[in-house]
């Protein structure tokens, strides 16, 4: 199980929801490599597929979204070790978000450059004061598999909106992640 560690400005309850969804999605999709990026603040659905290639309203070639490196709180690369059945952190991995003068779309890097069959996950920080959070999931080598979900806090965190994913899928990922937590506790 991959553990997301909240920092001072994060609501631990949101981080737990994001962690369950991340682990549930990785298990359901049988992913063996993942980059996890903690972004400093909430981001909206417009980041989904930014600079990626689209054809007939379908994502075809996923590119690294152009988050300013100043917004990246942390980036961790994990590999699944089948012998121990555990996720092993390998450091930051290759930096996804680097300074690019002018940041033209022609310099957007394809995800396949980093992993031929890996997941890339971005989740928002500053959720304590915002009362809003977001998670974005890309999968390289999978014909444009990508989704975005936003969350709001009332009595508990709930899905506010999803793009290219249903609430039912998110709930399924979260429940699977919860089961993984129970097994590993």
Each domain of the chain, given as residue ranges in start order, spans 12-100+107-184
Band (pLDDT 50/70/90 cuts) for residue 128 is very high
Let me know: does 170 contact 149? Beta carbons within 8 Å. Answer: yes
Mean of per-residue pLDDT scores for the chain: 92
Three-state SS at 123: strand
Let me know: does 157 contact 17? Beta carbons within 8 Å. Answer: yes
Let me know: does 150 contact 132? Beta carbons within 8 Å. Answer: yes
Q: Could you tell me whether strands 58-61 and 72-81 are parallel, antiparallel, or unpaired per DSSP bridges?
A: unpaired
SS (H, E, C) 27-58: HHHCCCEEEEEEECCCCCHHHCCCCCEEECCE
* CA–CA separation, 185 and 183 (whole Å): 6
Q: pTM, whole model, 2 decimals?
A: 0.94
The 10s digit of each residue's pLDDT in 134-172 is: 999 999 987 789 999 999 999 999 999 999 999 999 999
């Amino acid at each position: 199980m991959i553990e997301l560690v909240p920092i001072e400005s994060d609501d631990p309850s949101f981080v737990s929801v994001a962690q369950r969804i991340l682990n549930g999605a990785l298990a359901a999709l049988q992913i063996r490599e993942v980059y996890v990026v903690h972004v400093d603040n909430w981001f909206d659905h417009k980041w989904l597929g930014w600079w990626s290639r689209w054809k007939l309203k379908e994502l075809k070639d996923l590119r690294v979204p152009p988050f300013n490196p100043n917004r990246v709180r942390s980036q961790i690369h994990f590999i699944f070790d089948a012998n121990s059945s555990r996720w092993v952190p390998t450091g930051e991995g290759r930096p996804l978000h680097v300074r690019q003068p002018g940041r033209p779309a022609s310099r957007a890097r394809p995800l396949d450059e980093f992993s031929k069959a890996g997941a890339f996950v971005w989740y928002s920080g500053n959720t304590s004061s915002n009362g809003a959070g977001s998670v974005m999931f890309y999968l390289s080598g999978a014909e444009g598999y990508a989704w975005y979900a936003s969350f709001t806090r009332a009595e508990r965190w709930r899905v506010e909106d999803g793009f290219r994913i249903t609430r039912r899928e998110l709930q399924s990922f979260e429940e699977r992640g919860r089961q993984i937590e129970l097994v590993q506790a």
